[in-house]
Chains A and B, each alone.
Chain A
Amino acid sequence: MNATPQLRRPDETGVPDPFPYMHPKLRENYGNWAWHDRPRPGVLHHVSKSGDEVWTVRAGTQRQMDVYTIRLLADIADKFAEGHVRFTTRSNIEFMVSSFAKVQPLIDALQSNGFPVGGTGNSVSMISHTQGWLHCDIPGTDASGVVKSLMDMMHHEFVVEEMPNRVRITTSCCQINCGGQGDISINVQYTKPPKINHDLVSKVCERPAVVARCPVAAIRPAMVNGVPSLEVDEKKCVCCGACYPPCPPMQINGADSTKIAIWVGGKHSNARSKPTFHKLVVANLPNNAPRWPEVEDVVRKILYAYKENGRDFERLGEWIERIGWPRFFELCGFAFTKHHLDTWTGARKTMNMSAHVHF
């Protein structure tokens, strides 16, 4: 009898317990912290009700890390910190130490190895981003490259705290927008309906599911060249790409038709104003790999208009709320077009239903 390889049954352990990995000071003071301050950009100082203190040094990473980079960070954590790290939701790495004397040598070690120290308080933190050409099956661009280009441009704003409030930037490689909402969001925006490979549709797509996926009911079953396929009413199509994941023969990406749009004013926090969605400001920027200079230019304009004009603690969207959209478009030098007028469900609620006008 042939020996079939014995397959190992998974141990369904679920979410790992973090306490064995947690810095001892954090473990000992779990749920018992009193206050914190920031002695310098990139450094947090937390004080417990017991009087214990811990300093955290935050550094930027490239998120997609090779094992050599991770081991280097681990070596730094062992030699200059205390063997424990954590990551933030924006892929920054944090090193905890129990004495202030260890802070500067740790910062020096990180900086000399090319890791920027910052991302705290009212700085520009690391861009949260998606997979892109490196790994996604439907990407319009390469988020890692866009992020590297933008973080190079904004490096200074990461290592200092000079913005009115924190700036959270996101990028997404398609309109599904896995990168999420941001003060500034750099998202792929398709500009043409899908190009359909009719030979493949019936072989690889579940047609009713694809029809159901379209948010504007622009897709219908059709016989094309004698084979069952799908057709798109191009007058209705909003070029969102929702049909592409369930039906790859409906190619939404094109070397020239995949563009980039910039959105502003998304906010997750409940501080002061309620959370908000980001709003369109510029569309149709070229997907200009490897450095996306046109995107960089628009982001720089928004960032520095905010930096120069925002008041302390105003998030980017709150700043625009105060000065008004006319002033924002004027300060940034952007065009206001019919495409800025929402047409989706609930659009009327985005209109100015008052006599309030900015001049």
Chain B
Amino acid sequence: MSHDEGKGAKAHHPTPLLDQLETGPWPSFVTGLKRLRDSGDKQYAPMMNDLLGQLEHSYENRLGYWKGGTVSVYGYGGGVIPRFSEVADKFPASKEFHTLRVQPPAGYHYSTDVLRQLCDIWERHGSGLIAFHGQSGDIMFQGCTTENVQKAFDELNEIGFDLGGAGPAMRTSMSCVGHARCEMSCYDEVKAHRTVLNEFLDEMHRPALPYKFKFKFSGCGNDCVNAIHRADFAVIGTWRDDMKVNQEEVKKYVAKQGRKYTIDHVIAMCPTRALSLNDDDTLDVDNKSCVRCMHCLNVMNKALAPGDDRGASILIGGKRALKIGDLMGTMIIPFIKLDTDEDYEKLVALARRMIDFFADNALEHERIGETIDRIGLPAFLEAMEIEPDPNMVNHPRTSCYVRTDDFTDEAEKYFERKAREAGLDVAAD
């Protein structure tokens, strides 16, 4: 195709509404789309002209014009989001505009070399438009013909990238920057993310679960990847021993910020009143009351740090509104150690038990949080072989509608368990 044919074959669709999104200080996605449209020597230029035409049509009518369908790559069932235009008669070059969801490196690290390789592949086979990243965590290669999906995937796969999840499947995961650049990080997020997710690639690539299942990995309670709200299985870093206090740095902080400021903004903001400022401007911490919320560590960053006995809490069942209403993940495992390979194997084994339970027991289109609501937490814990723990609740039940004739047996089991944890002899053994 000559340069003239590429450019002149079809006039640009006018985009008076989208043009208004090219002003102002924030980078404009419309300007980016136009750069692709104006790349007359590139295979995607006609597609992006019609894509802009369809988008302008949406802005005019305030309606979307894409429908789904079935597109995949050889050997997989999911990972491609098919999009066929409902207005292809007006905008034929973008009649197929599929997205490839591609798993990013854990922690979203890229070298410029690999970014350029991704661009080159997408320039050859796709639209030239890439989103870093989608809300599940994928790199989204947006805009591909049905014919080119396989070609694009093959090249991405050759350089070490794999498709992510879509539909009723294991979904792509996210992990925070963590160990790579954060002093709050309480476990190796990259290792957890890769060890767990790579165990479930079959569930990701060949959707056969009742509905989606998401893991997210945050290194501390600041939860920078929003795991508690958004993940079925949230792994949140924490520690069991005392937080570390550098009293000289505490004094420096107080000297710099003032005593009143420190009391108002650090001491008084502690949710469990675990902090007290001493008369000599050192800090008292009641570690048994501390809930590892992270506030004082965030504020007095140089003075305070997580303890040495680190690991993670696991919260299960976070999701948004569909169908029974919003659910946050709830505490299921207050602490799991994540140091050795065996610790990570235990994490994978727990995840495997949970996925198997989900696959066997959830109703169609039911998230695991909804399953727990439907069957009750005691039944879920029994299936998972997890013992009840007071960290799982805000407070014990307030409703008297419960049958308690085996209460004494259950209490006995609790005391035996505690004795075993303490290394004592148990009569029943």
Residues of chain A touching chain B, judged by Cβ–Cβ distance below 8 Å, are: 7-23, 26-27, 29-31, 33-37, 46, 54, 56, 60-71, 73-75, 77-78, 83-89, 91, 93, 96, 114-116, 128, 130-142, 144-145, 148-149, 151-152, 155, 175-181, 209, 212-213, 215, 240, 242, 248, 253-256, 258, 266, 268-275, 277, 287, 289-291, 311-313, 344-346
Contacts and interface: CB of A to CB of B under 8 A. Distances in A.
B235 interface: no
27 contacts: A10-B76, A10-B153, A11-B158, A14-B197, A15-B105, A17-B105, A18-B105, A21-B111, A34-B183, A36-B182, A66-B36, A87-B108, A87-B133, A89-B133, A135-B99, A137-B66, A137-B67, A142-B55, A213-B323, A215-B322, A268-B223, A269-B294, A275-B328, A277-B326, A287-B62, A291-B20, A345-B325
Interface string B26-42: 11111011011000000
A183 to B, nearest CB: 12
Given A62-B32, A240-B321, A290-B59, A152 B25 contact: yes
Interface in B194-226: 194, 197-198, 201, 204-205, 221-226
A346 to B, nearest CB: 7
B302 interface: yes
Given A65-B131, A69-B32, A135 B26 contact: no
Interface in B121-146: 122-123, 128-135, 142-143
Contact of A290 (B18, B26, B225): B18
B228 interface: yes
Given A17-B105, A86-B110, 18 more contacts: A17-B160, A18-B108, A35-B305, A61-B27, A69-B27, A70-B118, A73-B115, A83-B112, A84-B110, A132-B64, A135-B142, A137-B68, A138-B64, A148-B30, A268-B223, A270-B222, A270-B294, A291-B20
Bin the interface of chain B by size. Answer: 35 or more
Contact of A11 (B157, B197, B271): B157
A142 B129 contact: no
In terms of DSSP, what is the predominant structure of the interface of chain A? loop
A116 B104 contact: no
A258 B62 contact: yes
Interface string B257-295: 000000011000111000000000000000000011111
B106 interface: yes
Q: Which of B26, B131, B222, B321 has the most CB of A within 10 A?
A: B26
A242 B36 CA distance: 35
B364 A212 contact: yes
Contacts of A75: 112
B122 to A, nearest CB: 6
Contacts of B105: 15-18, 21
B17 A18 contact: no
A142 B221 CA distance: 32
A128 B135 contact: yes
Nearest to B161: A16
Nearest to A251: B63
A202 to B, nearest CB: 17
A33 B185 contact: yes
A272 B293 CA distance: 6
Interface centre among A18, A77, A87 (most CB of B within 10 A): A18
A207 B229 CA distance: 31
Given A178-B135, A212-B364, A275-B328, A37 B301 contact: yes
A116 B325 contact: no
A114 B27 contact: yes
Contact of B132 (A61, A68, A177): A61
Interface centre among A13, A63, A64, A177 (most CB of B within 10 A): A64
Contact of B26 (A73, A116, A175, A275): A116
B83 A70 contact: no
A89 B364 CA distance: 30
Nearest to B299: A313
A204 B76 CA distance: 24
B367 to A, nearest CB: 12
A177 B326 CA distance: 10
Contacts of B364: 209, 212
Contacts of B67: 137, 248
A86 B107 CA distance: 8
A98 to B, nearest CB: 12
B103 A86 contact: no
Interface string B396-414: 0000000000000000000
A145 B59 contact: yes
Interface string B1-41: 00000000000000001101101111111101101100000
B426 interface: no
Nearest to B179: A31
A41 B345 CA distance: 41
B61 A255 contact: yes
Given A15-B193, A31-B185, A215-B323, A7 B62 contact: no
Contacts of B174: 89
A54 B36 CA distance: 35
B111 A133 contact: no
Contacts of A34: 183, 305
Contacts of A91: 131-133
Contacts of A84: 109-112
A31 B188 contact: yes
Contacts of A64: 29, 32, 129-131, 142
B194 A17 contact: yes
A89 B178 CA distance: 13
A215 to B, nearest CB: 5
B391 to A, nearest CB: 13
A268 B229 contact: yes
Interface in B327-355: 328
A23 B81 CA distance: 32
Nearest to B143: A135
B55 to A, nearest CB: 6
Nearest to A54: B181
B156 to A, nearest CB: 10
Contact of A65 (B132, B321, B323): B132
B320 interface: yes
A142 B321 contact: no
Given A33-B181, A155-B25, A269 B194 contact: no
